[in-house]
Amino acid sequence: MKTVKIGIVGFGTVGAGAAATLLANREVIAKRTGVNLELVRVADLDITTDRGVSVPAEKLTTSADEAIREADVVVELVGGTTFARTLILKALNAGKPVVTANKALLAKYGEELFAAAEANGVDLYYEASVGGGIPVIKALREGLVANRIRRIYGILNGTCNYILTRMEREGADFAEVLADAQKLGYAEQEPSLDIDGFDTAHKASILASLAYGRWFGMDPVAVEGIRDISLADLRYADELGYRIKLLAIIKEISGQVEIGVHPTLIPKNALLANISDVFNGVMVEGDMVGQTLFYGRGAGRNATASAVVADLTDVAMNIASGCPRRVTFRKEEQFAGLTPSGEVQSRFYIRLQVQDSPGVMAAVTKVLADQKISISSLIQHETAGGKEVPLVILTHLACESRLTAAIAGLKALRAVSDQVKILRIEDL
């Protein structure tokens, strides 16, 4: 049986999980694949802290270079986009295949890293970068390879999904739930990467690259987070038959591709709307297969390790079978261009504060009509006094630029307050 030597760089949560998985399940993996994955080095600046996994002392090192030298495959689990980038390039240039979970790095430097992998004739795998333990990279790259990809909707950030789920379930405010999530370790002390949508955007960019054959980077990705989602929005959504999720939205329409991250109303009875707490899910629609959905834990030590070790097994089988780069990212575009800014079409949720006086509704609806935006439903509840009342409007499909113009028009009305909340609607 062929033995493939593994070197892990980064002994944090995921690194410890990957080491533990390799040690615990090596035999079962060997039975399934005929390949023996041998952990030879774990490198980290800190090799004294107990990580709850008993890696023999002689395999621990503070030298990433030593791990690269001794291994047949290098696992990058340090995170960040500086040292990790240098490390991966060094490994690839040394002819060593690399497995990484680093979504920010791939989203920003995917093109450079895959060029280096190609130049050196070695593999670069990254299943754990999107959706944690869910094998969605493999599904897109291989399982659905026969399809033109029409749409991808992803709930890809566990922190955001956890916060939205608790807000909805408990009727609690964003700030309150965020503070509690931070206390419980479900949100970082500096939560911006998660709650402002950037982490989801990195993953969206990676999924789009797989679907359409270009490393898009972050520039074309429109990013909104969940910081401004209020309890009122969740309640109106509920009343209208929707739930609000932070979605990665990737669409191809007539050859034009759009990539965005938006808090989005989706129908309550859709499977995606029923993915709760820290779980992740990705809906992929192909021209042949129709809608598919992939669900599981998007983060956490062992779930992420499951994806890292699956990649390691793939790379090890490539080594054992003498077929490196059997599958890889190929820079061959399968679309015509990006949807020009402003031309993205969507249904929208609009929440306004309006004066409770005659003619206001007529003025508001006229602004929308002037932009050819058609209303699909509208809620204005009776309120117990007060000069201002909330007005919620759902639109049919509308162009983003017209929506922007309409919002400006609404804000210019004396009867409408400046605070207009806009959310997307996707009917899946």
The residue within the footprint of its own copies, chosen from 122, 309, 344, 423 (CB under 8 A), is 309
Query: Does the protein bind its own copies through residue 323 (CB under 8 A)?
Result: yes
Chain residues 2-61 in contact with its own copies, contact rule CB under 8 A: 17, 21, 24-25, 28-29, 31-34
Q: Which of the stretches 41-49, 77-85, 114-122, 296-304 binds its own copies when contact is defined by CB under 8 A? A: 296-304
Q: Which amino acid is at 256?
A: Q
- Active-site residue flag, 203: yes
Nearest to 37 by CA among 302, 319, 313, 321: 313
Q: Residue 308 CB, nearest distance to its own copies (Å)?
A: 8
Q: Site for its own copies (CB under 8 A): how many residues?
A: 64
Residue from 49, 62, 334, 376 that binds its own copies (CB under 8 A)? 334
Radius of gyration of the chain measured on its C-alpha atoms: 24
Lookup result for tokens 């679309």: 335
Q: In whole angstroms, what is the distance from residue 8 CA to residue 28 CA?
A: 20
Torsion over CA: 123, 128, 131, 133 (sign): positive
What the block records as the tokens of 408 is: 């400006």
Pairing of strands 345-355, 421-425: antiparallel
Is there binding between residue 310 and its own copies (CB under 8 A)? yes
Q: Is 317 an interacting residue with respect to its own copies (CB under 8 A)?
A: yes
The span of 180-188, 255-263, 303-311, 365-373 binding its own copies (CB under 8 A) equals 303-311
- Of 23, 83, 118, 143, the one binding its own copies (CB under 8 A) is 143
> Maximum Cα–Cα distance for the chain, whole Å?
82
Least Cβ distance, residue 47 to its own copies (angstroms): 23
Q: One symbol per residue from 255 to 274: x for binding its own copies (CB under 8 A), - otherwise; what is it?
A: --------------x-x--x
Which residue among 203, 245, 251, 421 is the active-site one? Answer: 203
Residues 6+ apart with CB under 8 A from 321: none
Residue 146 binds to its own copies (criterion: CB under 8 A): yes
One residue of 97, 135, 154, 260 binding its own copies per CB under 8 A: 135
Among 102, 313, 346, 371, binds its own copies (CB under 8 A): 313
Cβ closer to its own copies: 64 or 136? Answer: 136
The site map against its own copies for 353-392 (x = CB under 8 A) is: ----------------------------------------
Q: Exactly one of 5, 69, 141, 150 binds its own copies (CB under 8 A); which one?
A: 141
321 contacts its own copies (rule: CB under 8 A): yes
Q: Kindly list the catalytic residues.
A: 203
Query: Which residues in this chain contact its own copies in the complex, by CB under 8 A?
Result: 17, 21, 24-25, 28-29, 31-34, 127, 133-135, 138-139, 141-148, 213, 269, 271, 274-275, 286-297, 300, 302-303, 305-307, 309-310, 312-314, 317-318, 321-323, 325-327, 330, 332-334
